[in-house]
Amino acid sequence: MGLASTTTGSEGIQFCIFDLKRGQEEGQELDKILFFFPTDLPFSTQLSVIGLSEGLITFTRIFSPEAACEVIEAERHSHVFYQAEPDIWMVMVVEKNKEAEAIWRIGALQQVLKEVHSLFMMFHGSIRALLEKEPGGGLARSHLYFFVMDYLTDFLSGKKLQLPSFRDCLKERGTVQMLTVGREAAIEVQSLVRVVESACAGNAACSSLVLFQDLLVSTTLSPDDTVNLFAYAILRLTPLALSSGSSSWSYLRKGSPASLITTGFIPGNSVSVTEPTYTSRDTSPGRQGQRYHVPRPLQRDKWSKGKDGFLVLETSGAEVGGLNSSTPTVWLRQTDERMYLCVFQQKNLTIILLIPVSSMINGEQGISMVKRQILENASLKILKVDEKLSRGWGGENAYHVRGYRYLLFDGDRNVSRASPPGKVTTLSKDSLLSLNRLREEVDLEKNRARHDDPSHEKDLEVCIRAKNNAWVIARVTRGKELYMVLEKANETLLYASDAVEKFSNRYCNGAFSLD
């Protein structure tokens, strides 16, 4: 198995979101809890976990007031922290299991916390804004409950919740994977993008993403918005996501597990999940009977392809984004603007068009006109681009480099490339464990360097001989990182170093060369 497992009903993993501003008065402690998993734990246990987390946050601020607490290692548990918004914290408490598979990298767990918050913000806006809109907290809790539980469903295998483990150390969450295209294909894609974006009415500033299978081909969004839309597309929109009901994140292909949603209670709310509109009733004092619509953009198997090629999100009542529309909407971080999410799919090609809500006076009628414009003006170009990219595509092993197992990513551009999952599974357990430990050490060194001098990026080079005689290598320079495993390398360090130089010169434009 490629992931470490913990049962959903056990105390192997606990995941909470809380607000330090709330619940400061005696008897109101429950007010600070915004989300807690597992949901069936007694409130006393939930408060104990959050109280400990709050204490650790306060204690670490004494020694490092400018840097937020990120991780606390205890004898039996790892406490992973992420300050999602001012005074709003996400904390994951993971039990240290003696099972060999239950070995994870703290940085990978932090990326899970960051991703779920970024996706939540993209659909619902900030948690703080929801709390200000409804100070009782029922609105925020209801949205967080359904969204996070739907997100965690992707980590289920049977009845076990699986976190990224050491077997995922040649993956980097929070980055996009690009398709390499030739000059002629790139010109065709640019022409297609211009035609698609011109379908918007008037002078509306539309944006777009184009994906081929699970790889990004083109984007006119900011890097942060690109990462968020790309992550969502991989989870729910690409042909693979639509056909199998699972994302391509893990080396272990998962089936279609049951939902984590239960009829358990959220503090201050009673949740009814049997109603088609997914409503939540606030039972806190002074707000008895108040109900909230809870859109669920991450719910599995709700996207489908229509006869016209456009994807349709199956919902009931008011739709995603809280607007009277059957087309979901998202917030763009760079422009702070709400956009309609319009998705078209042709075989391996997925086109995501983002249309400003403010430009669509007629709502769905305007969206229908845009779709009609795309079908009339871009259909032939879409077919041509899909055919051209398909002919040039080398298959799932297109980016395999013989003799190497690697991860290459650019932190400044949020772009990564890695050995195909099928090739990574051929590595021995010792090699993966050694690389996982090496990445932990590199993460620590980068954090120390940022703390000492945030304006200076530290260059690193580490080469380790693993127990199985494989070479495990890390090179970090100018915002770029390269991790590599060479299992069939020669005995000498010189041979391993030369292999890295050849890889750098051929595939990285010499970015990691020592010359």
Which pLDDT value is given to residue 294?
A: 86
Torsions phi, psi for 370 (to 5 deg): -65, -45
Q: Are 155 and 161 in contact (CB under 8 A)?
A: yes
Per-residue pLDDT of the chain (515 residues; tens, 9 = 90+): 343 433 344 448 899 999 999 988 888 889 999 999 999 899 999 999 999 999 999 998 888 888 888 999 888 889 999 999 999 999 999 988 766 567 889 999 999 999 999 999 999 999 999 999 999 999 999 999 999 999 999 988 777 788 898 999 999 999 999 999 999 999 999 999 999 999 886 667 899 999 999 999 999 999 999 999 999 999 999 999 998 655 554 444 444 455 666 544 455 554 444 333 444 444 444 444 467 788 899 998 889 999 999 999 986 544 444 444 478 999 999 889 999 999 999 999 999 999 999 888 787 888 999 999 999 999 999 999 999 999 989 888 999 999 999 999 998 899 999 999 999 999 999 999 999 999 999 999 988 877 777 666 778 899 999 989 999 999 999 889 999 999 976 778 888 889 999 999 999 988 888 76
**How many Cβ atoms from other residues are within 10 Å of residue 210's Cβ?**
24
**Letter string b/e over residues 430-446, b meaning 16 or more CB atoms within 10 A of that residue's CB:** ebbbbbbbbbbebbeeb
Task: Report d(CA 137, CA 206) in Å as an integer.
Answer: 34
Query: How far, in Å, are 143, 156, 208, 326, 354 from residue 361 at the CA level?
Result: 27, 42, 21, 15, 15
Nearest to 81 by CA among 16, 29, 141: 16
Task: Report d(CA 228, CA 217) in Å as an integer.
Answer: 15
Q: Are 110 and 82 in contact (CB under 8 A)?
A: yes
Domain ranges of the chain: 13-168, 183-247+299-392, 405-507
Residue 72, SS3? strand
**CATH topology agreement for domains 13-168 and 183-247+299-392:** yes
Exposed / middle / buried, residue 73 (Cβ in 10 Å: 0-12, 13-18, 19+):
exposed
CA 344, chain centre distance (Å) = 22
Q: Who's near 48: CB < 8 A, 6+ residues apart?
A: none
Query: How far, in Å, are 247, 305, 352, 383, 480 from residue 243 at the CA level?
Result: 10, 10, 18, 21, 34
Q: Are 19 and 87 in contact (CB under 8 A)?
A: yes
Q: Are 173 and 249 in contact (CB under 8 A)?
A: yes
Say which DSSP state 310 is in: B
Q: Are 112 and 92 in contact (CB under 8 A)?
A: yes
Q: Who's near 104: CB < 8 A, 6+ residues apart?
A: 4, 94, 163, 164, 165, 166
Here the tokens at position 327 are 């087309």
Q: Are 471 and 465 in contact (CB under 8 A)?
A: yes
Here the tokens at position 26 are 């005696």
Is 405-507 in CATH node 3.30.450? yes
Which pLDDT value is given to residue 52?
A: 93
**How many Cβ atoms from other residues are within 10 Å of residue 62's Cβ?**
7
Which pLDDT value is given to residue 235?
A: 95
Residue 14, SS3? strand
Which pLDDT value is given to residue 259?
A: 64
Q: Who's near 94: CB < 8 A, 6+ residues apart?
A: 6, 12, 13, 77, 78, 80, 104, 109, 163
Q: Are 332 and 186 in contact (CB under 8 A)?
A: no
Which pLDDT value is given to residue 355?
A: 94
**How many Cβ atoms from other residues are within 10 Å of residue 422's Cβ?**
11
From the options 1.25.40.10, 3.30.450.30, 3.40.50.720, 3.40.190.10, give the CATH code of 183-247+299-392. Answer: 3.30.450.30
> pTM of this prediction?
0.89
Task: Report d(CA 334, CA 211) in Å as an integer.
Answer: 21
SS3 letters across 209-258: EEEECCEEEEECCCHHHHHHHHHHHHHHHCHHHHHHCCCCCCCCCCCCCC
Q: Give, for 157, the enclosing helix (H) or strand (E).
A: strand 156-157
Q: Give, for 503, the enclosing helix (H) or strand (E).
A: helix 493-507
Task: Report d(CA 260, CA 58) in Å as an integer.
Answer: 32
CA 451, chain centre distance (Å) = 25
**How many Cβ atoms from other residues are within 10 Å of residue 399's Cβ?**
18
Residues facing 79 on adjacent strands = 72, 93
Residue type present at position 321: G
Nearest to 234 by CA among 216, 218, 217, 260: 216
13-168 in CATH: which number? 3.30.450.70
Here the tokens at position 492 are 């000498």
Q: Is the peptide bond before 38 cis (omega within 30 degrees of 0)?
A: yes
